[in-house]
Structure 1
Amino acid sequence: MRWTLKPKPEQEKIDALAKALNVGGLVAQLLIQRGVHTFEEAKKFFRPQLSDLHDPFLMKDMDVAVARIEAAIAKKENILVYGDYDVDGTTAVALVSSYLNSYYPNIATYIPDRYTEGYGVSFKGIDFAEDNGFSLIIALDCGVKAVEKVAYAQKKGIDFIICDHHRPGKGLPDAVAVLDPKRDDCTYPYDELCGCGVGFKLVQALGARQGHTIEDLLPYLDLVATAIGADIVPITGENRVLAYYGLQVINTCPRAGFKAIINQIKKSVLTITDVVFVIAPRINAAGRMEHGQHAVNLLKETDMDQAETYAAQIEKYNADRRGLDQEITLEALQQIKENGEEERFTSVVFKETWHKGVIGIVASRLTETYYRPTLVFTKSGDKLAASARSVKGFDVYNALQGCADCIEQFGGHKYAAGLTLHVDQYETFKSRFEKVVSETIDRNLLTPEIGVDAQIDFDEISPKLMRILKQFAPFGPGNMTPVFMSENLKDTGYARGVGENEAHLKLSVTQNGIGPIGGIGFNLGDKLALVANRRPFDAVFSLDENEWQGNISLQLKIKDIK
């Protein structure tokens, strides 16, 4: 691990903010590192307000989109709400369709099949719309690159409204409206919304015309918060407001579908981390193992008994997904070893029987193991399909552009992408991708980095500091959990391995006579020798609370030891 200590802001700025907020210098430093410099900015950070959300009509084409939907409703047209099969897509479809259904009946939903249609807008989906009398499709979390598909729909007399957040290609589809804050000609003040977030802005705009206030739309924010967490978009600006209020909805009055999931996992208060690692994988499992429509059905269901039935089915999909993901990861690791590819700059693996629904998770697992840009391929029809994952600081989407002549189609983000190619192009692509990455990647990026906010001493750690840090939540990109470094620590002689195969490290730590403070280092069991016999060590950690038999105590969540 590389420990990178973030630059400390100028002392006079720290002192000025500390004085304005009546907080310690450490808290002021952490705030400035997150772009908070003034009392007003701190107020918005600690107390997000719904009034801070931007006017949806500032988004390019929003007025046209609203006018087309209102015209469709006036003429009693059938509207198809279409979205991708991942968490962002299914939550967006559930949100927009359930909102429209609240005052208009002629609404249906469509999620493409991961295996027969693949990602995004499909010809099959458009044919379904034509066969069933839909004249307007609202595409969510996809469509900004669907130039051919939208043209195909146009010939059939079907209009498109696109709500997307991915980077557009060279030209936009000829849709009635393309809502995408990443459009070059869109001056919307915040361009980091997820697909469900763009869908919410459409609902907000429609609601304004219906006389609905932002408070009336609060019940939909559980869906938006889940998509924000799952899609790993920055939790800054407008996303912070949406995630903050969405989490409140999840924890106080969640929709039946969420309640059914929460009942199964038996957890009382959910953080954004729980949403990412507990709720999102279950919603995703439907599209991975069966069909994304199951997730939409769960998220739209209002009857609690039916929701419980749907949630039990999705729980089974998730268990199946976990088993497959572990099995394929082991096979992929074995393939890399057998091919003598441990020392490459990339991991590219393929087996035609691997389940397409879990190759993205397997790519993430391989990235954790070898820490380099990774692609996992499987057979999909007569082609190969892959999921790509990257390491922090390296744009895998740009790397794929450097291999575009070997690829049939691709799309995605800086750190995650998907692609298809012809079988005979696999070996060419594999060597080209290795070449592009090896020529463009900064070698430092191939060692995992821990960003450290501040070096601190134990006399700065207190329950009051913990109370303030908890108010920094929700955490995520752009506002990660604060990470600290402390030097010259010693274990009291308590250190031991815990958990299966003693994989984790449990400690009781002091510094210069201050302490002890309990510590837990997940997957750091192999560091036991470094801290045994009261040997001094340095550690990187975040602050956490440990609850045991009704007692709550501060503990260090240790990330690395040297």
Structure 2
Amino acid sequence: MRWTLQSKPDISIVKKLAKELNIDEILSTLLVQRGITTFEEAKKFFRPSLTDLHDPFLMKDMDKAVSRIEKAITAQENIMVYGDYDVDGTTSVALMSSYLQTITPQIATYIPDRYTEGYGVSYQGIDYAHDNDITLIIALDCGIKAVDKIAYAKSKGIDFIICDHHRPGDKIPEAIAVLDPKRTDCDYPFKELCGCGVGFKLIQALAEQRGETIQDLLPYLDLVATAIGADIVPITGENRVLAYFGLQVINAHPRAGFTAMLSQIKKKALTITDLVFVVAPRINAAGRMKHGLHAVQLLVEENHEKALSYAAEIEAYNSNRKDTDQSITKDALTQILDNNEEDRNTTVVYNENWHKGVIGIVASRLTETYYRPTLVFTKSGEKLAASARSVKGFDVYNALEACTEYIDQFGGHKYAAGLTLQEENYELFKQKFEKVVSLTIDQKMLIPKIAIDTPIELEQITPKFYRILKQFAPFGPGNMKPVFMTEGLMDMGYGKCVGADEKHLKCTVIKNQVNIGAIGFNLGKKYPLILNKQYFKAAYTIEENEWNGEVSLQLSLKDIN
């Protein structure tokens, strides 16, 4: 692991802010590192307000989108709400369809089948709309590159409104409205909304036109918060406000689907981390193993008994997904070793029998193991389909763009993307991708990095300090959980390896007569470093540990040296 220490901010700004807020200088340092330098900025950070949300009509084409939907409602047209099969897509469809159904009953929902239709807007979906007299499709979390498909829909007399957040291609589809803050001609102030976030801005605009307030839309923010967490967008600016209030809804007034999904989870208050690691995999499992509409069904269900039944189905899909991705990961690791590819700058693996629904998870697992840009391919119809994952700092989307002579289609983000290609191009693509990455990646990026916010001493970790630190949440990209470093630590003699295969490290550290418990997941191999009263340094986050009804602070170790 490569430890990097953030540069110290201007001490005069740190001291001034600490005095104005009456907080520890360590906490003030953390704020300044996050770009918060004044009392007003700190107030907005610690007390997010719905009034901080931007006017939805600042987004290009928003007026056109609202006008077309109002026209459809007045004329009693059939409207289809169309979204991708992942968490962002299914939450978007649940959000938009449930809101529109409060105005008109003529709403249909559609999620493409991962295996027969693939990602995004499909000809099959458009044909389904045409066969069912649907004249308006609202596409969420997809559509920004569907130029030909939107033209096909137009030829069938079907209008499109696109709500997307992916990077546009060279040409914008000729839809009635294309809402995407990443359009170069869109002046919307916040560019990092997820697909569900763009969908929320549309219902916010519709609500304004209908005389409703932002308070009327609060119940929908649980879906937006879930999508923000799952899609790994920055939890800054508008996303921070949406996530903050969305978590409040989940914890205070959860919808039936959330209550059913979480019925086995014994936790007082859910965080963004819980949404990412507990809720999102279950929602995703429907689209991976069966069909994304099962997730939408669960998210919009209001009857508790029915929701429990849907949640049980999804739990079974999730269990099946876990077994499948573990098996494929094992196969993929074997393939890398058999082909002597441990020393490359990329991981590219393929097996025609791998389950298409889990190759993204497998790509993430392989990235954790070898820490390099990774693609996992499987057979999809006549073509090969892949999921790509990257490492911190490296733009895999740009790398794929440099290999387009061998790719049929691709799309995605800096750190995650998808593509299809012809089987005969697989080896050529693999060679080109390795070459492109080797020429463009900084070799430092291939070593996992721990970014340390600031050094700290154990005596500074007090209940009051932690109370304020907790208010930095919700954590995520752009506002990660602060990582601290302390040098000169010693184990009190109770250190041991714990867990299956003794993979984890548990100890109590002491310095300057102050001691605190610590747990290091997957750090069992570092046990020799704490033996025999050796001094060591640790990088860690701070968390609460509940044991037998007692709550205490502990260090969650990231690494020790």
TM-score, structure 1 normalization: 0.99
- What does 1:365-380 correspond to in 2, within 5 Å? 365-380=365-380
Q: Give the deviation of 1:225 after TM superposition.
A: 0.2
Residue 518 of structure 2 corresponds to residue 501 of structure 1 = no
- Tell me whether 1:227 sits opposite 2:237 in the alignment: no
Q: Which residue of 1 aligns with 2:529?
A: 530
3-state DSSP class of the match of 2:262? Answer: helix
Q: Partner residue of 1:420?
A: 420
- Where does residue 146 of structure 1 map in the other structure? 146
Equivalence for 1:327: 327
Q: What pairs with 1:12-411 in structure 2 (closer than 5 Å)?
A: 12-411=12-411
Displacement of 1:459 after TM fit? 2.1
- Larger deviation: 219-228 or 16-25? 16-25
Distance in 1 (CA, whole Å) between partners of 2:300 and 2:284 is 15
Partners of 1:10 and 1:54 in 2: how far apart? 31
| Letter of the 1:291 counterpart | H
For residues 197-218 of structure 1, give each alpha carbon's deviation from its aligned partner in whole angstroms, at most 9, with x where no partner exists: 0000000000011111100100
Q: Matches of 1:472 and 1:7 in 2, distance apart?
A: 20
Cα separation, 1, equivalents of 2:519 and 2:264:
27
Matched residue SS, 1:490: strand
8 Å contact from structure 2 (residues 56, 202) kept in 1: yes
CA distance in 2, matches of 1:509, 1:266: 29
Residue identity in the other structure for 2:460: E
Q: Secondary structure at the match of 1:485?
A: strand
2:554 and 2:533 map into 1 onto residues whose CA distance is: 19
State the partner residue of 1:555.
554
The 3-state SS of whatever aligns with 1:326 is: helix
Following superposition, the deviation at residue 515 of structure 1 comes to 1.8
Secondary structure in structure 1 of the residue aligned to 2:276: helix
The residue identity in structure 1 corresponding to 2:557 is: I
Q: AA paired with 2:215?
A: E
Instruction: Kindly provide the CA deviation profile for residues 223-264 of structure 1, in whole angstroms up to 9, marking residues without a partner as x.
Output: 000000000000000000000000000001111111111113
Question: What is the CA–CA distance in structure 1 between the aligned matches of 2:552 and 2:92, rounded to whole Å?
Answer: 39
Distance 2:554 2:303 in 1: 42
**Residue equivalent to 2:438:** 438
Find the residue that maps to 2:104 and give its secondary structure: coil
Counterpart position of 1:459: 459
Q: Does the aligned pair in 2 maintain the 1:66–1:206 contact within 8 Å?
A: yes
* Distance (Å, rounded) in 2 between the aligned partners of 1:548 and 1:332: 39
The 2-side partners of 1:559 and 1:266 are apart by 25
The letter of the residue matching 1:300 is V
Q: 2:2 matched to 1:2?
A: yes
Distance 1:458 1:271 in 2: 25
Amino acid at match of 2:333: L
The separation in 1 between residues aligned to 2:43 and 2:80, in whole angstroms, is: 41
Name the SS of the counterpart of 1:534 in structure 2. coil
Report the AA paired with residue 548 of structure 1: W
Q: Which amino acid aligns with 1:420?
A: T
- Give per-residue Cα distances to partners, 1:114-140, cap 9 Å, x unaligned: 000000000111011101110000000
Q: Is the 8 A contact 2:391 2:415 kept in 1?
A: yes
SS at structure 1 position matched to 2:433 = helix
Equivalent residue letter for 2:534: R
Question: Which segment drifts farther, 547-556 or 445-454?
Answer: 547-556
Contact preservation (8 Å) 1:546, 1:554: yes
After TM superposition, give the deviation of residue 267 of structure 1 in Å.
Answer: 2.8
Cα deviation for residue 533 of structure 1 reads 1.1
C-alpha deviation, 1:430, in angstroms: 0.5
Work out whether 1:517 is the aligned partner of 2:551. no
Q: Distance in 2 between matches of 1:200 and 1:345?
A: 40
- Structure 1 residue 282, shift from structure 2 partner: 0.2
Shift of 1:16: 0.9
CA distance in structure 2 between the aligned counterparts of 1:457 and 1:308, rounded to whole angstroms: 47
* Code of the aligned partner of 2:67: A
Q: Percent identity?
A: 68
Secondary structure class of the residue paired with 1:533: coil
Distance, in Å, in 2 between the alignment partners of 1:263 and 1:340 is 46
Runs of 4 or more above 2 Å deviation: 264-268
Per-residue deviation, 1:20:
1.0
Aligned-partner residue type, residue 527 of structure 2 = L
Q: Distance in 1 between matches of 2:387 and 2:454?
A: 36
Distance across 2 between alignment mates of 1:262 and 1:44:
31
1:174: how far off? 0.2
Q: Distance in 2 between matches of 1:171 and 1:324?
A: 38
Please tell me the root mean square deviation across aligned C-alpha atoms, in Å: 0.6
Contact 1:458 1:514 in 2 (8 A): no
Q: Which amino acid aligns with 1:84?
A: D
Structure 2: tracts of 5 or more residues without a match: none
| 266 and 517 in structure 1: CA distance in 2 versus 1, 3 angstrom threshold | closer
Q: Is the CA contact (8 Å cut-off) linking 2:200 and 2:224 kept in structure 1? A: yes
Which whole-Å CA distance do the structure 1 matches of 2:335 and 2:501 have between them? 25
Instruction: Give CA-to-partner distance per residue, 1:342-371, whole Å, 9 cap, x none.
Output: 000000000000000000000000000000
Unmatched runs of 5 consecutive residues or more in structure 1: none
Distance 2:407 2:126 in 1: 24
Q: Distance in 1 between the 2:347 and 2:250 partners?
A: 38
2:221 aligned partner, one-letter code: L
SS in 2 for 1:265: coil
Q: 1:540 aligns to what?
A: 539
1:37-63 Cα shifts (integer Å, max 9, x gaps): 110110010000011111101110000
Deviations 1:78-106 (A, max 9, x none): 00000000000000000000000011000
Code of the aligned partner of 2:155: K
SS state of the match for residue 552, structure 1? strand
For 2:343 and 2:411, the matched residues in 1 are separated by 28
CA distance in 1, matches of 2:55, 2:337: 54
Q: CA deviation at 1:268?
A: 3.0
Aligned residue-pair number: 561
Contact 1:181 1:190 in 2 (8 A): yes
- Deviation, structure 1 residue 265: 2.6
CA positional deviation for 1:401? 0.4
Partners of 1:212 and 1:140 lie apart in 2 by 23
Deviation at 1:501, TM superposition (A): 1.0
CA contact (8 A) 1:84 1:112 kept: yes
- 1:479-517 CA-partner distances (Å, limit 9, x unpaired): 000000110110011110011111100011011x33211
In 2, Cα distance between the equivalents of 1:138 and 1:545?
44
8 A Cα contact 2:81 2:109, kept in partner = yes
Residue 554 of structure 1 and its aligned partner are, at CA, apart by 1.0
Deviations 1:272-317 (A, max 9, x none): 1000000000000000000000000000111111111000000000
CA distance in 2, matches of 1:198, 1:547: 38
Contact persistence 2:458–2:515 (CA under 8 A): no
Give 1:19 deviation, angstroms.
Answer: 1.0
